Every structure is written in C-alpha cells, then in structure tokens.
Structure 1
C-alpha cells in the first residue's frame, strides 16, 4: 500500500527526520491560506498522487507570489496528472501539499528496501539525488552505495556513519546524516514498511539535512496490526479493479488484455498467464482465488474479473488440493446464472473431487467449455475469444 508524500513526511517526522514545513490544501483558496500560514517569500505547490516524476509532468511548481500559488493550484486540482509511472490514464489530483521552498545545495538519494534474496533490509544511497534510482543505476552506477543491515542488531551508528562518509558529506553534517539514516531504518522496521525512499534528501544552504520528498510503501499483509497506517489509504489513487478485489480478500492485479483469469495458487496463475500469451491471447488480470474457495468466493472472483470492461472471455483454471473442484464448479454455475454471463467461458478442473465438479458443470446445461489440460484450456479460450470478437 502506498501513501501520499505529505503523509510519509509526517510519519518520518515522528521518527526524527527533518522535513520542510507545509500544509495540505483541497482548493486553490486553501493553498493560498497555507502560504500565509507558512509566511516566507517562495513556496512549492505539489500535486499529491501515488506516483514519482511529478515534477516532469507539471505536478510540482515553485511560486513566488500568492497569485502564482492560486494559479498553480487551480491548474492541478481536479486534473489527471500523467507520468511515466501512471500510464496514459494518469491519476486524479484531489489534494495539494504546499510547503516552504528550500535552499538546495546538494541532493542525495536514500532508499530502504527489503532484499528477499538476502532476507535483510538494504540501504541504497547515492550522491546523485534528484534522479530516479533506475536512471542513477543506468547513468552513474558507480555512485550507488549498498549496505545490508543485520537484523540481529539493526542499524548501528557506525554503519550509518560509513554510509554518510561514502556520500561525500561534509564532516560537520555526519551527525545529522546518522540521525536521519537511523530514523528511516526505525520507521521501516516499526511500521512494517516495504520501502522507505527519500529523493532527494538535501543539504540546505543553512547546513541542514532535509527530506525534500518522501515515499513510503507498506506490506499489506501487516496492515491488520497497523491501523494508523491503514487509515492513510487513498482508494482514489488505486486501480478500481484491484481495490474492489482487495476489499473482498482476493489477490488480484489488473492487466491490459481481454481474457479474464480465475485461478488458484500464485504459481499456477502465473503459468496460466504465460499459456494464454503462448496461445496468442492477452490476459486481463492475475487472480488467485485462494485455497478452500467456497462458491461465494468464486462468485466474488467472477465479479472482480468482470469489473474490467475490457474482458471478453474468461478462463477458470483450478488444480484442487485444499480446494475442491465441486465447490469451484458450484461457484462457476452460480456466477454464470446470477451475472448472466454472455462471453465465452472455459473451465479446466483437476484434483480433489474433479469428477463431481465436471458433473456439476455438465448437468447445468450452461454454455461452459471444459478442458482437461492447461494448454488445451488456453487454446480453447483464445480461440473462443477471437471467434466472439470477429462475430
């Protein structure tokens, strides 16, 4: 789960990270009011969407007068901001963050991520801040510093000092840098974060280290014990298909194809997507219905898939172990009837109670195509989709 920049900064401030003063605004008039609260001579108006590269897309503007703030806010609010991360559909700007301008002398990249290979939190840093980490890696790979944190002891001051010195910071700034690094590590660990990124972390003309931008992502599996984080979720920034499925306990990721998928098990779901592509089709989603799926859960899965208006055929692929094929079949029949399904449907069942499941499908007398293998199912659903599209 992602959160907005201003929310990330507020969380990091609570751990001791130095961030600029600012305030949230939901209207141009409120944005101007924020500048009056902050005082000063220059302000930065930032669109709050779940995406990087906002500046290149016109979502970050430096203003020297209240009039400029008003115009900047008016140009952003209610509009869709398109960046290379949002895709062509962009994301709706519903709120702005107005903060005091900062005198930037040096920009640094700082990120904390979980390295699943090492099973450790890893610090990634670079003296070439202000760029996307992918660009830094491609253009200046030698500038990237990577430091693995031992989970038994956490980030110690000596490790933070090593990173700070490697960044080429002035020795007088090392204590501030150490404090910032340890604070970010604590935020990562104590909030069950999946990523903490500050880009850029800047050195100001006054000799302060300040987090000028911040991005936090969280492990959704841990949100049940982090209610203060769950409350920060902004569903308007999420794919509506994925939000619908997530709210119903389904593992769903929307894709750009036309063939919807209802599968049990993440590995089998990935294999199903591959087989559809090999057969000449394009999958519309990844959906893992989970183990022990009831007919109700299958119905919810169909609803989630059909929330995508681009879906023109559906493939159900179940290899039942914990699951039972008869439960799945009951759910499929119920979904076809209740949702009045008009598009091609191919079902492949294998495993526990497979004969009972196949009998339920056959006795339903519904227009359901069955298959014995995944390869056969993929070929049939792609053929049915193409035929239906041409007809």
Structure 2
C-alpha cells in the first residue's frame, strides 16, 4: 500500500517542490498530475504530510521517510487489538467491522484531501494581481465588483445579492450536495462586507480573501482567511464557527457567537486576534488540542492575543483599546502617539504602495490623530502632510517619497 508513496519520497525533485515551491515547479507538477490523474490524491496526501514535517532538504533521511510513511499509514488504516481467543464467526464479523471503519477513515481522509485541493486551487488567484473586488463561485464563475466598498449577501435562501441590488442564483454543481467553496478577494485600497448563509457578517480588509461555503451544511461552520477580517458571528451553540488561516493551518480561532478581529497578513510573522465581544478559543491544530490553561487559550472581551507562526505559540496576551484594531471597518486609521514610520507603514499596507522617508525626515516623530482611508491615496497623503508638516512626491516606480 505504501510503495506508491515511497517513490515520491525518494524523488528529490518532488521533495524540493514541496519544500521550495516556485511557479515553474508548480507548473511542472500540475502538468504531471493532469497527465497522471490517478496520482492526484496520493500526491495531495504527501503534500499534507511533508508540510507537517516542515523539511527544507531535497533529500529525506531514512527517519524522515519512516515518519512520513507512518503518518500516511495512520490516515488510511485503523489498528485493532487482537484478542487471545475468539470464535471464527466473531472473527469474521470483526474483520468486516475493521474494514468498514478503515474504509470510513479513508473516505474521511479523501473528503478532507478534496477540500484541501479545492482550497489550493482557489488560492492560485493572487490579491496583488487584481484591481477590483472579485467573487469566485463554485462553478468557477467570476463576478467583478468595481465599488471601493462592496456588500455581498448570501443570507437569502437561493440567491446572493451584491450591493443590495444585483441578484444571482446560487447553484450546487455536485451530486452529493456537499458544500462547495466560494471565495471573496478584496484588492488593496478597498474593503468588503460579506453576509454568510447563517447570518454571520464578515468585514474583509484591503488585500484580503475569505474562502467559505455558499451554505453551511456541516456540523462546523468553517471558513479560511488570508489577510484581515472582522467577524460578527451569529450564535449557534450546536455548530461552532471556526476561522482557519491560509498562511498557517496549525492555528484556528473557534467561536459560537461573538465579535473578533483576525490579522493574518503574509507580511507579518504573527497572527493577531482581538476580541470585542463574547469569547473565543485559540486552537493549535498541530497538537489537536486546546492550549493548556497556563497559556491563556480562552480570550475575554478587550483582549489581544498574538500567535507566532515560527514558534507556534501565543507570545502575547493583553488588554488593549480595541478601536485601534477595528476602526478600519469604518475606513478610519487611528494612531495614538505612533511614529511617522509606523503610520506610513500602515498606509502603505492599505493602499499597497511603497512609501519611503527621505533622510531629512524624522521617522521617529510621533503623531496622534486619525485618517479617513475611504478617501483616495492622494487625499490621504495630503491630510497626513498637513498633520505632520511634510511634503511628498511620486517616484518613477510609482512609489511615494516623503521629505520636509
């Protein structure tokens, strides 16, 4: 059973692709998979297991190979204790039971792999490559929304409504009626409000994406976030609401009915969660258990928790002014005794533009106030220039240079 997996683990080219993916390597292996469709599921399981190992080497050691094969074996088989004495008839039915359980586990793994593959395909569209908000439906249909602030509503029974006027029928293209994943991508300089099928509201910040089912039909309401979003979760004690991250699948935020902000931009080596109402649990999926109580896994209103991606631990948990972290929902950037360097960095991130300070400008100069990000970049820079007594100009590379 494991022989078919071993050939890939012995292939430095395959291991290098998982450890150091590039567009060229992706193209090669995508072509390979399309030419060998029977290998698709096998390769996806290998990608999952190798990602857990987090190796950076092209050649795996013997111990690493054995560890990967053990993980794969656990995914598709179930070990049963052997009794000392058993009647043949009981043994027959026990064997059938083991086969059924093993088949069920395999089918569950297959279902999980298919969802992961579906999400991988959706992630092929980069945030940097679009200028309008894009909604990608399960049938691959793309809807482009020009407005700077958009409103997408899935809460009606069979339709989605865009900006409270355009109505589109929602269809399920799968025969088994399992939830199909949709994706909302918000480019830099814009933001969007998304109402999910259960009535939960998600505010997506500039340069962010959310992958979600058109309709929640499973025991857990699960979505995938890349970037930053503020969640207003509709209460449902029977079905927890779970936010998983595109950048780090080992971490998730679980809630029942609450309001919280998650910042998981790729440019940061951390994930920041700020709770404004209710209660959330931070979950370490790599250990398949909640953090111990000594690490303060349960957040209370008014708290911030920071998860470090490298160490995979909560490195900070403290009380904060939540308005500072959530004012972006209204298009407002609040700064309280922040340096000019920090403020321009936040403006740069929102509009996705390179902003540099000339040597004559004191980047450590501190300011207190607010800026309206609903305005254009030009207007925002003019307001900052008045507040900080600075001037600016556009560079040849379409960046911004600030000087006295």
**Structure 1 length normalisation: TM-score?**
0.28
More helix by share: 1
Of structures 1 and 2, the one scoring higher in RCO (CA 8 A, sep 6+) is 1
More strand by share: 2
**Structure 2 length normalisation: TM-score?**
0.28
